[in-house]
Amino acid sequence: MTPSIEPLSGSKPLVLIVDDTPVNLVLMGELLDGLYAVRLARSGRQALAAAATLPKPSLVLLDVMMPDLDGFQVLRELRANPATADIPVIFVTARGAFEDEEYGLRLGAVDYVTKPIKPVLLLARVATHLELKRVRDMLANHKADLELELARRVRDIEIVQEVSVRALASLGETRDNETGHHIRRTQLYIEILGRHLEHHPRFERDLTPQRLALIAGAAPLHDIGKIGIRDDILLKPGRLTAEEFTVMKTHATIGAEAIDRALQEVASDHGTDLPTLTAAEGRTQGVGPLDFLLVAREIAAGHHEKWDGSGYPLGLAGDAIPVAARLMALADVFDALISRRVYKAPMPMDEVRRIIDEGRARHFDPDIVDAFRACESDFIAIADRYADPLDATQ
């Protein structure tokens, strides 16, 4: 056997042997040939090229004392290259000092065999580390398969959740059939506002990508409480009386209480503690498995609160109103203004813009109004794309 890179045979594990002495290459090559596929290299540079050549070796037998790059340098470069970092390396060397062995193992070698080589010992070490490599690879592949399966199941759960939320929201629409594509539009408005504000110092903690996805996903439940409002009030074509409006305002509390009951029942059924809520407004602290419902509760309870404290049901003001509810407030009002209702025609954009501007720091968080103005063209595009029959922005 000559010192060169040998052709591979079948599906046997490939062992790369590196030594600058031809007789050592021949000795180890002949010892392993037949049991394994063998690739040979006579220098550190050759070793690095051979290790990176496909198919990659399953194991490297590496001499320490070589003229161009010594074995320690070769090992460092193997470990630094992602393509070769996981290949196990056994040092085979005449340097038997404990310090050398310790240094090689510290660099990442898996074993240390001294010369003159004892064939039985070398074969045993090679077989052991190839088996360990096979098991590690098998576990890594299994882990990758498990991660793919987990991602698929999570996506399935997300789809079921989205379908369930839309079904619940649609149930509300059967009682209030004027909203049309209102649900989809308001979700998209919230996503636009959230992405614009995600790096704003006031919002960066509340509008991480994960949190924004929860808010947009829960937005369709904002008016779920309307299921509890009588038809003669909910579907009245004209202006509500003061008494009727008082009843209508209860839909925010009805929706929040319905979600509260669901939260309590789920937590009880699964033995899960509800995440900590602030006493005043029920704002979630942190992220947990029930966070979706908690965000839905924030939106249902708070989307009619106003920045100046004049809203309902609790009269919260400023930052006491959860961010999710503040986003929903502007998205909901914008969509109501541009849409046809039994009691009004859609408003032209100039009038919509004027009303929202007047609501800055009164009805709406001023920074959210500024985000709306910056993203106004996106709002108009969404409104046109998902327009209800006979409606369009003007």
Would you state the pLDDT for residue 272? 62
Query: Would you list the domain boundaries of the chain?
Result: 14-142, 178-385
Report the distance separating Cα 39 and Cα 62, nearest Å: 12
Alpha carbon distances (Å) from 263 to 164, 200, 324, 382: 15, 31, 18, 33
Q: Retrieve residue 33's tokens.
A: 């040939």
Report the distance separating Cα 356 and Cα 351, nearest Å: 9
For the chain, list residues with pLDDT below 50: 1-5, 7-9, 178, 276-287, 392-394
Fold (topology level) of 14-142: Rossmann fold (3.40.50)
Give the SS3 label for residue 59: strand
331 within 8 A of 186, measured Cβ to Cβ:
yes
Helices of type H across the chain? 22-32, 44-52, 71-80, 98-107, 119-175, 182-197, 209-218, 231-234, 242-269, 291-302, 323-338, 349-358, 366-374, 376-385
Report the distance separating Cα 94 and Cα 71, nearest Å: 12
Would you state the pLDDT for residue 183? 87
Report the distance separating Cα 14 and Cα 8, nearest Å: 7
Give the SS3 label for residue 76: helix
Would you state the pLDDT for residue 274? 58
Same fold, 14-142 and 178-385: no
Would you state the pLDDT for residue 162? 60
* Backbone torsion region of residue 128, taken as left when φ is above 0, otherwise alpha when ψ lies between -120 and 50, otherwise beta: alpha
Report the distance separating Cα 218 and Cα 303, nearest Å: 12
| Torsion angle (degrees, nearest 10) of CA 374, 376, 382, 388 | 160
66 within 8 A of 43, measured Cβ to Cβ:
yes
CATH top class, domain 178-385: mainly alpha
Would you state the pLDDT for residue 390? 63
Would you state the pLDDT for residue 7? 47
| Torsion angle (degrees, nearest 10) of CA 70, 72, 73, 75 | 120
Would you state the pLDDT for residue 143? 81
Would you state the pLDDT for residue 288? 52
Would you state the pLDDT for residue 150? 79
